[in-house]
Structure 1
């Protein structure tokens, strides 16, 4: 991996950390804007880079919220990485709105399913509204900004990586 690619990866991880500091009021404090930089990077830099940023973004968001970093957060970080990777794959096929819808629904309803077994069904239902709002905001922001940044990245930044 070149120095420039590594620097861009670090930049997007830093943006994810900043997004993790912007909290959406909820019962659980780890719902934040940490996914937006990962969604953006998954299209601009690549699906693997976006997945890495999504995983780190969740871990940092949970840490900043004061949650213990245990196996549960590793599972969520892996889920986030998979969802962002899938978002990128779908987006690259030209189905941009479907990619956004996939991320919103998977992040809001599928990703928290393990919480039913780890905590309770009530906890799962309590997570749904803030997760839906957070996923929607992250996704809409990414879908609006990706086309604006894509030309800049393809010409000036990523084009020079080769």
Structure 2
């Protein structure tokens, strides 16, 4: 990884910390904007870096919230890496509508499925509405910001 890509990745990871500080409690989950920087990083970085930013973003957001799920946050970080990696691949492939569906459904529903088995059906049912709202809000803000971000900078090479 070039120094420039590393610096841009560090910038976006720092922005996930800022986004993770904006939390709105919603049932057993909270809405945070820790995914937003990773969604925007797709404009400047390769898919693997975008996934890494999302994983770090989740860990930072969980740290700010007191790690309520303990070591299960590693599972969530891995899920976030995968979802944002897929988002970035779809973006690079020109699949602009599908990328948003993958992000919202992946982050809002699919990422909660392991917890149906690891914790309980009640946890899954209680978590999904908040996760869906968070995914939609992160996607909406990113969708509005992306045209402005494109004007601001060029893809990091």
TM-score (norm 1): 0.89
Q: CA RMSD in A?
A: 1.7
Q: Within 1, Cα distance between the matches of 2:68 and 2:100?
A: 30
- Where do residues 2-151 of structure 1 align in structure 2 (5 Å cutoff)? 2-67=2-67, 70-151=70-151
Between the two structures, name the one with larger relative contact order (CA 8 Å, sep ≥ 6). Answer: 2
Unaligned runs of 5+ in 2: none
1:147 CA displacement: 2.5
TM-score (norm 2): 0.91
How many aligned residue pairs are there?
A: 157
Q: Within 2, Cα distance between the matches of 1:69 and 1:3?
A: 34
1:121 CA displacement: 0.5
Deviates more, 1:143-152 or 1:43-52: 143-152
- Per-residue displacement from partner, 1:59-80 (whole Å, max 9, x unpaired)? 1111110125743111100000
Q: Give the number of the structure whose residues are more often strand, by fraction.
A: 2
Unaligned runs of 5+ in 1: none
Q: Which runs of 4+ in 1 moved over 4 A?
A: none
- Per-residue displacement from partner, 1:49-103 (whole Å, max 9, x unpaired)? 1111000000111111012574311110000010001011112222212211110
